[in-house]
Structures are given as C-alpha cells and as structure tokens.
Amino acid sequence: MKTEQQYFDEAISIAQYMNEMSTLKEESFAIYNQFTVPKDAFIEQLKNSDVHILAITEDWCGDAMLNNPIVRKVAEAAGLDMRATLRDADTDLIDQYLTNGGRAIPIYLLLNATGEVVGKWGPRAPELQQFVMDARAGLPDKEDPAFEEAQKAMYTNMRQQYIEDSKYWTYVYEDFKKAVSAIL
C-alpha cells in the first residue's frame, strides 16, 4: 500500500486540478476569486511550518466546490504546496480516512517534511454540517416519489448559497484554522 507521501508525490497541483475540473468548475472559481484570506497569525504559523497539503477530492462534490478554493487560497498565502488526488481513482487512501464509516470528501491531509500525516481536516465545518442536516430534514421520505426532485433542488440551493454567502467561506476558514493550528 502506498504512503500518503507517495499519493502526494503522484498528485497534481490544486491549481491544475481546479483548471481541469469538468463539474462545478465555474462555481469553485466564483468562490476562489471572491475569497480573501484574513490577515491573521494563522498564515504566519503556516509559513513557519514545514507542512504540505494533500486534498482527497472529486469535482462533482459540493463540499469540495466550497472547501477547495478556500484551502487553496490559504495554502497560496502561506506558500505551501497543495496537491489533489481523486477519491474514486484509488479508494485505498480514502478508506484510511472515513467519516462516520463513509468516504466523505474533501479530506485534507497535512504532511510534514518527512511525509508523515500530522493533521487532517474535512469534509466540512460544523456549521455546514448543521446546515446540511437541517436541509436534509426537510426532504420527503426516500420512498416518496417527490424525493429525488426535492433532493436535487436542495443541492442546487445549497451550492448557490455556498457561492453567494461569504459566511459559509468563513465557517470553512475558521474551522480549518482551528484544526490546523492545533497541530502546528
């Protein structure tokens, strides 16, 4: 089995990943182009660390659409190397980082200079988890003929809010900062 560092070495840059997206690309870049990294001590902490970031992601994922641009901006501000690997291309990696038994993405692994995983964040900030749970609670039962259409509308609405409401960006940034600061 490959190490996380081997996955990182084989991965593409997050910039290349985003440029090659076939789904949710425009939405991801809408967030990327609007999000500004706050000027706080966190970026200096990251600059002084010797970490690099591996994102386990897929371009069809709404959480990745929101999180990847923000974490990318953080990595760029701190001068960190951030790369992306596709969850579905090799499930051995994601299977080591399951969320409640599932292959939830995106997952961000922070590796030190020797390639050891020193931190992990993802797939979403607690406020976003609550937002998703609240939205799902309003759906009809899965057996209901209206379920599929209602679920599709829910995801469309959520993606639109992720793009238009900067509070969601702040949730991502603050929770990422909290998790990563704890390991630096």
Residue 152 inside a domain? The answer is: no
Q: Are 89 and 54 in contact (CB under 8 A)?
A: no
Containing domain of residue 81, as a range?
A: 4-124+166-181
| Token code pair at residue 79 | 């001068």
Q: Do the domain assignments include residue 27?
A: yes
> What pLDDT score was predicted for residue 17?
98
pLDDT in tens, the chain (184 residues): 899 999 999 999 999 999 999 999 999 999 999 999 999 999 999 999 999 999 999 999 999 999 999 999 999 999 999 999 999 999 999 999 999 999 999 999 999 999 999 999 999 999 999 999 999 999 999 999 999 999 999 999 999 999 999 999 999 999 999 999 999 8
The answer to whether position 144 is within a domain reads no
134 belongs to a structural domain: no
CATH classification at residue 101? 3.40.30.10
pLDDT of residue 57: 98
CB 59 within 8 A of CB 21: yes
CA atoms within 13 A on the CB side of 36: 3
In a domain, 37, yes or no: yes
Predicted pLDDT at 25:
98
For 77-176, strand residue ranges (E) read 82-86, 107-111, 117-121
| Predicted local distance difference test score (pLDDT) of residue 184 | 87
CA torsion angle 168 105 11 89 (round to 10): -150
Residue 19 belongs to a domain: yes
Is 106:122 a contact under the CB 8 Å cutoff?
yes
Tokens at residue 48, please? 């002084």
Number of separate domains in the chain: 1
Can you tell me the distance from the alpha carbon of 43 to that of 12, in angstroms, rounded to the nearest whole number? Answer: 23
The SS3 call for residue 80 is coil
Q: Answer whether residue 84 is part of any domain.
A: yes
Per-residue pLDDT at 167: 98
Place of tokens 């209901």: 144
Task: Say if 63 falls within a structural domain.
Answer: yes
Size of the chain in residues: 184
pLDDT in tens, 149-172: 999 999 999 999 999 999 999 999
Query: pTM to 2 decimals?
Result: 0.96
Q: Which residues contact 73 (CB under 8 A, 6 or more apart)?
A: 32, 35, 36, 37
Query: What dihedral angle (degrees, nearest 10) is formed by the CA atoms of 38, 39, 41, 45?
Result: 80
